[in-house]
Amino acid sequence: MSVAHLVFDLDGTLVDSAPDIHAAVARMLAGEGREALDLAVVTSFIGLGLPNLVQRVIGHCGMDPSDHARLVGVTLGHYNAGTNALTRVYPGVIEALTRLQQAGHAMAVCTNKPEAPARAVLRDLGLEGFFGVVIGGDSLAVTKPDPAPLHACIAALGGGPAIYVGDSEVDAATAVAAGVPFALFTEGYRKTPVPGLPHRAAFSDFSRLSDVLAGMQAGTSEPA
């Protein structure tokens, strides 16, 4: 069997970026004279891109919806001004990516985070050398769960068999829409119990990822 291309989600899959996103939202809210939200609340808003996250913040805080575009810009400005100081790579990710790269897998990132901040996270955390392709939330006219970003990643890698690795409801829906096998990282930002999400395989430890993906390619993996 040919070596499958691998496409990864970013936030909640490769990295825990919620603390830096939370900090940017807190700065935006402070500028509006509002109290900061709890980290858990902001984390629950992650997944459909920054405009959706800010929309949900506005609704949660009872702010004026007509300010949405301005507040997206303010929040993105605060996020871009940061240094990803609070963002962390999940344990075992770098070792797993190294093994997969050495095994001949071409890899891409497909995220709803805007492309420039996504590339900055990869650069700052020592991950950019693993990924020849990065499709962000502003790279195309649509975002996940539309399948187009995932299809664009696979096409940019050269086409052919691919596996998508993600952590959330959005990722699972994207994989289904794209017709691509999905591996679910269970320690990210999902809100639905694991059995409630469509997936070919599930894993909680990146040290297992090579074996999980090999099983998927061989057709032996079962949802966990």
174-198: pLDDT as tens digits: 999 999 999 999 999 999 999 999 9
45-68: pLDDT as tens digits: 998 888 999 999 999 999 999 999
- Point out the least confidently predicted range of 44-53, 142-151, 213-222: 213-222
Element (H, E) at 203: strand 201-203
Q: State the virtual CA torsion across 141, 86, 99, 202 in degrees, nearest 10.
A: -70
pLDDT classification of 223: cutoffs 50, 70, 90: very low
Active site residues: 9
Residue 139, both tokens: 């790279």
Architecture of domain 5-16+87-218: 3-Layer(aba) Sandwich (3.40)
Domain 18-81, what fold?
A: DNA polymerase; domain 1 (1.10.150)
Contacting residues for 98 by C-beta, under 8 A, at least 6 apart: 130
Element (H, E) at 76: helix 68-81
Q: Are 193 and 143 in contact (CB under 8 A)?
A: no
Start and end residues for every CATH 3.40.50.1000 domain found in the chain: 5-16+87-218
Euclidean distance between CA atoms 96 and 90, whole angstroms: 11
